[in-house]
Structure 1
C-alpha cells in the first residue's frame, strides 16, 4: 500500500469484528480507498469505515483500536481529501463510552467491550502529537476539526481499568 498505511497488512483483522458485528477484514481496503481515492471514493470509504469502527457515532468494537493509528496517519496526510471527516470520526471514537455506560447500569459482564473502548480511546490519545500538529495549520479547513478534537481529548481522559 505504499509509504502511507505501511503497517496495515500487519494487523490481524481476520479474527476481529467491527462495530456492526461483521468481520473486520475489509478495513484495509477502506483505508486504502481513503488514502488514494478521489474525493467521492474517499468520502464514501470514510462513511463506510465510520460504521465499522464507531457505529452510530458512539459504539466501538474490537477492530476500532487497531484502526486508530491509521486513521490518525490519514487525518494528518496532506494528500487525503477527507481529513476533516477522519478527525470527526476520531473525535467520536474518543468520546465513545457506550460500553462503560452500559456496564455502570447493569450487572452483566461487559469486560471485553469495556476493553475495546479503553483501547480505542487510548489509541486516540496516543496520537495527540499528530492532532496538535494538524491543529497548528494556518489553513482553517484543515485545522478546525483538529482543534475540535483536542478539547474532546482533554475532556475524555483514557479510561482506567477497574
Structure 2
C-alpha cells in the first residue's frame, strides 16, 4: 500500500460543513493525525472526527460522505493504530437515520423539504460506508480479534442498515 491519504487534498473541505454545522477545514489534519500519529494521537483524532462527522453518534453532515473513503483507507492500513475505533465510527455513520426520521415525521411538506439536503448527506454517507464493504470484509477475516470483531459488527450494521432508496 502506498502513502495513505494521497487524494485528501482533492476534496474542497473548506466549502463543506461538518455534523455540527461548523466548517470542515480541519478534517484533513485529523485524518493525517490518524495516519501518522502514535496510538494516543490517533485515538484522539478519531474522537474529534467522530464529533465532526457523526455528532452525538447519530447526526451526519455534508462532510461525512467525502470523509468515509479516507476512514476506510485508514482502517485498512496496517500502520494505523486505531482500526477498531475507525470501524466503530463507520458503524455509527452507517446506522444514522436522524434526518430521514425527522423528514418522515414532519407534519407539513414545507418543513419536510427543509430536511431534503440533510437526508441527502445521510444517504451519501451510508452509501459510502457500503462502498467500502470489501475493506471491512478483509478486516473481518483478520487474525487480530481487536480488528475482526468490530469489522464483523460493522458488517452486521451494513446488513441491518441498507442504503437509502
TMscore range, shorter length: over 0.9
1:137 aligned partner: 142
1:138 CA drift (Å): 1.2
Q: Does 1:50 align with 2:50?
A: yes
* Partner residue, 1:102: 102
Runs of 4+ aligned residues of structure 1 deviating over 2 Å after TM superposition are: none
Whole-angstrom CA distance in 2 between matches of 1:81 and 1:137: 15
Alignment partner, residue 131 of structure 2: 126
1:39, distance to aligned residue in structure 2 (A): 1.0
Match of 1:67 in 2: 67
The alignment partner of 1:142 has SS state of: helix
The TM-score with structure 2 as length reference comes to 0.95
User: Which residue does the alignment assign to 2:18?
Assistant: 18
Provide the C-alpha distance between the structure 1 equivalents of 2:82 and 2:73, rounded to a whole number of angstroms. 12
1:33 aligns to what? 33
Would you say how many aligned residue pairs link Structure 1 and Structure 2?
159
Over residues 134-161 of structure 1, what are the superposed CA-to-partner deviations in whole Å (9 max), with x where a residue is unaligned? 101111111111010001000101001x
Kindly state the Cα deviation for residue 20 of structure 1 after the two structures are TM-superposed: 1.1
Q: 1:83: which partner in 2? A: 83
After TM superposition, the score normalised by the length of structure 1 is: 0.96
Unaligned runs of 5+ in 1: none
Deviations along 1:102-160, one digit per CA (max 9) or x if unpaired, are: 00100312100000000000000000000000101111111111010001000101001
What does the per-residue CA deviation read over 1:16-51, in whole Å, with 9 as the maximum and x for residues that have no partner?
000111100000000000010011111110000100
For residues 63 and 119 of structure 1, the distance between their equivalents in structure 2, rounded to whole angstroms, comes to: 10
Over aligned residues, Cα RMSD in angstroms? Answer: 0.8
1:58-90 deviation digits (Å, cap 9, x = unpaired): 000100000000000111111111110000000
> Aligned equivalents of 1:3 and 1:83: distance in 2?
17
Where structure 2 has 5 or more consecutive residues not aligned to the other structure, the ranges are: none
